[in-house]
Amino acid sequence: MGRITLDKVQKSFGEVEVIPPLDLTIEDGEFVVFVGPSGCGKSTLLRLIAGLEDVSGGHIRIDGKDATLVPPAKRGLAMVFQSYALYPHMSVRKNIAFPLRMAKMDKAERDRRVQEAADILNLTDYIDRRPGQLSGGQRQRVAIGRAIVREPAAFLFDEPLSNLDAALRVGMRLEISELHKRLETTMVYVTHDQVEAMTMADKIVVLRAGIIEQVGSPLDLYHTPKNLFVAGFIGSPKMNLLDGDLAKPHDATTIGVRPEHITPSPTEGTWTGKIGVSEHLGSDTFFHVHMEGRRDPVTIRAAGEVDMHRGDTIYLTPNAERIHRFGADGLRMP
């Protein structure tokens, strides 16, 4: 079981309030991702749940029991750190066995569990090496192994993939997702990378300056962002946010259209502009289109390879059903 409830949790460092009172429920077995720009308090929130930081106000409940003042080790949570935080002088086996040894578990049971974790994570081949002799991805797996042997109520991940190269990151993303399916344990995952959030989460929590901007499934956030911040943050490339005369026909202060919901054409359309930079990915082509009187270019996606070039005039037609309308207060209009 791993149901975590935050009830008016608040955190200040001295005078500075990092997290204003905040409510959140993480259901048992859920994969929850905290996402937001750097400095938004997502790591602090995770450390509050872990118990590495003390809350300044409010309560944290784990499975209904108040854990606000419980020390980290007694909360039944396991954490994977950004730097992996492996113990450099211990072999992989000893690293993984460390929490069990601290729990005074007998040796036979300890060995069995370590072996099991090593099998799950494909660590058997280098179980007697030291962390210094492993690659980044392998170290990551050892860190996860050290977390799973404890059979915790929930896993906490603090940007675990940010030190890996792009290819490895995609692989580890899949491995962690698979691990979640297999263990069916609650996982709380912090990242600033919205692609990780979209691909892995059951539920995404978008944070800004310690405030929850929106909570929902990845597609919820994609289809119905509650406000301009979430609209601009979720989705890659970013949603185009247009104001002024382009928003007026829709009765809104700002309208948002995702690059994939604009149809380009060389001959006719609602808006006109000139092509600036184009990015060819093979499967897709992204054009940055400069429109008269606008500072920021509009990004659009064309499927496949398109015979349009820099400096060409291009006509754009947004998909009317996919236009997001936002009011003067930045909130979504129905």
Residues of this chain that bind other proteins (CB under 8 A): 50, 52, 71-74, 77-79, 81-83, 85-89, 98-99, 102-103, 132, 146, 150
Cα–Cα distance measured from residue 242 to residue 47, given in angstroms and rounded to the nearest whole number = 38
Nearer to other proteins, 132 or 293 (CB): 132
Task: Give the side-chain half-sphere CA count within 13 A for 239.
Answer: 27
DSSP code for 332: B
Cis ω on the peptide bond leading into residue 297 (within 30° of 0)? Answer: no
Nearer to other proteins, 52 or 320 (CB): 52
Nearer to other proteins, 8 or 89 (CB): 89
Minimum CB–partner distance for residue 324 and other proteins (Å): 40
Minimum CB–partner distance for residue 309 and other proteins (Å): 47
Minimum CB–partner distance for residue 275 and other proteins (Å): 47
Alpha helices in the chain (DSSP H): 42-50, 92-102, 107-120, 136-148, 166-183, 194-200, 218-223, 228-233
Minimum CB–partner distance for residue 251 and other proteins (Å): 51
Minimum CB–partner distance for residue 248 and other proteins (Å): 52
Nearer to other proteins, 82 or 115 (CB): 82
Nearer to other proteins, 192 or 203 (CB): 192
DSSP conformation letters of 192-251: S-HHHHHHH-SEEEEEETTEEEEEE-HHHHHH--SBHHHHHHSSSSPPEEEEGGGTGGGT
Could you give the 3-state DSSP secondary structure of residue 292?
coil
CB 319 within 8 A of CB 262: yes
Nearer to other proteins, 83 or 313 (CB): 83
CB 239 within 8 A of CB 256: yes
Minimum CB–partner distance for residue 114 and other proteins (Å): 14
Minimum CB–partner distance for residue 86 and other proteins (Å): 8
Q: Which residues pair with 275 in a beta bridge?
A: 289
Nearer to other proteins, 87 or 272 (CB): 87
